[in-house]
Amino acid sequence: MTATILDGKATRNAIFSDLSVRVRALADRGVVPGLGTVLVGDDPGSHSYVRGKHNACAKVGITSIRRDLPADTTQEQLHEVIDELNADPACTGYLIQLPLPGHLDAGAALARVDPAKDSDGLHPMNLGKLVLGERGPLPCTPLGIIELLKRYDVPLAGANVTVVGRGVTVGRPLGLLLTRRSENATVTLCHTGTKDLAAEVCRADIVVAAAGNPALITPDMVKPGAAVLDVGITRTDEGLVGDVHPGVRDVAGWLAPMPGGVGPMTIAMLLTNTVLAAERT
């Protein structure tokens, strides 16, 4: 069996076309969405993702606002920039690129963002709304995973989904989203304390690998025909490596590869959150 590729780039491009139309409709109402980014330090991956976000804004017609800060930025200086974006009417939504340098408190920074401008859905109040099932911006990578599965008609209702990784940007919110009534999946959330990872992956109809552990998911672990989504990205001397072993392509029914699967969907969902928030004004 060769897996059907869940093509994140093609899906992102289709979403961008739809968003361009919606942004033009907003302009007719005099509403201009503006997405801000706050980037601290020199991490090459973070710089590349932020560049990607601004390029995407340009394609769709969203104004973008960029705040790049040096690696030695203090918590107080970071909070000043957050306060400035909270007060800026041209900035309708923004995000703090993660991870922040180790000396900064990401939780305190995220909590200072105006929850109404939280394009990433990572403010504690918006994460609380997710737990309660209330409407609010949702984290972009989990949203992108669900959108990709739906667009390729991968059955979700009643599916056993094994999510590997309990991070706040992917694993935890994804578990909450997948167990909503509208998705109705059964989720097993695995982490470094999981006793038998292979057994949890083996019985899954859908596997989401978001551990940041190269080639963690091997072909022998995957149920033939399952959908496998690779969210892990590790930078090595040989280039970027995902969490899913390349041989999984011959066993899985669907595969979202890294690169070209979930990553592009993260940016598509960020812009979707930004446009949605502007439409609700």
Residues that bind ligand LMY7XDAE (CB under 6 A): 48-49, 52, 95-98, 120, 140-141, 169, 233, 240, 258-260, 263-264, 266-267
Complex with ligand LMY7XDAE: residue 226 or 241, whichever CB lies closer: 241
Structure tokens belonging to residue 30: 């005099």
Can you tell me the distance from the alpha carbon of 56 to that of 13, in angstroms, rounded to the nearest whole number? 10
Neighbours of 42 (CB within 10 A): 11
Nearest residue to ligand LMY7XDAE by CB is 263
According to the annotation, is 93 in a ligand binding site? no
Taking the complex as a whole, the smallest distance from the CB of residue 118 to ligand LMY7XDAE amounts, in Å, to 10
Reduced to 3 states (helix: H, G, I; strand: E, B; else coil), residue 230 is strand
Q: What are phi and psi of 34, to 5 degrees?
A: -130, 120
Can you tell me the distance from the alpha carbon of 191 to that of 214, in angstroms, rounded to the nearest whole number? 15
Classify residue 27 by its DSSP letter. Answer: H
Complex with ligand LMY7XDAE: residue 67 or 223, whichever CB lies closer: 67
According to the annotation, is 52 in a ligand binding site? no
Does the annotation mark 75 as catalytic?
A: no
Which are the contacts of 227, defined by CB distance < 8 A and separation ≥ 6? Answer: 6, 149, 154, 205, 206, 207, 252, 253, 254, 255, 256
Complex with ligand LMY7XDAE: residue 4 or 234, whichever CB lies closer: 234
Complex with ligand LMY7XDAE: residue 26 or 273, whichever CB lies closer: 273
According to the annotation, is 267 in a ligand binding site? no
Taking the complex as a whole, the smallest distance from the CB of residue 82 to ligand LMY7XDAE amounts, in Å, to 13
Taking the complex as a whole, the smallest distance from the CB of residue 169 to ligand LMY7XDAE amounts, in Å, to 5
Taking the complex as a whole, the smallest distance from the CB of residue 75 to ligand LMY7XDAE amounts, in Å, to 17
> 262-279 and 44-60 are packed helices; what angle lies between their axes, rounded to 10 degrees?
50
According to the annotation, is 166 in a ligand binding site? yes
Which residue out of 97, 117, 205, 243 is catalytically annotated? 97
Can you tell me the distance from the alpha carbon of 146 to that of 272, in angstroms, rounded to the nearest whole number? 14
Does the annotation mark 120 as catalytic?
A: yes
Structure tokens belonging to residue 223: 């149920």
Classify residue 250 by its DSSP letter. Answer: G
Which residue out of 120, 205, 230, 243 is catalytically annotated? 120
Can you tell me the distance from the alpha carbon of 220 to that of 250, in angstroms, rounded to the nearest whole number? 11
Name the one residue in this structure whose structure tokens are 């070209």.
Answer: 260
Complex with ligand LMY7XDAE: residue 171 or 264, whichever CB lies closer: 264
Taking the complex as a whole, the smallest distance from the CB of residue 155 to ligand LMY7XDAE amounts, in Å, to 24
Name the one residue in this structure whose structure tokens are 């970071």.
Answer: 78
Annotated binding site: 165-167, 233
Active site residues: 53, 97, 120
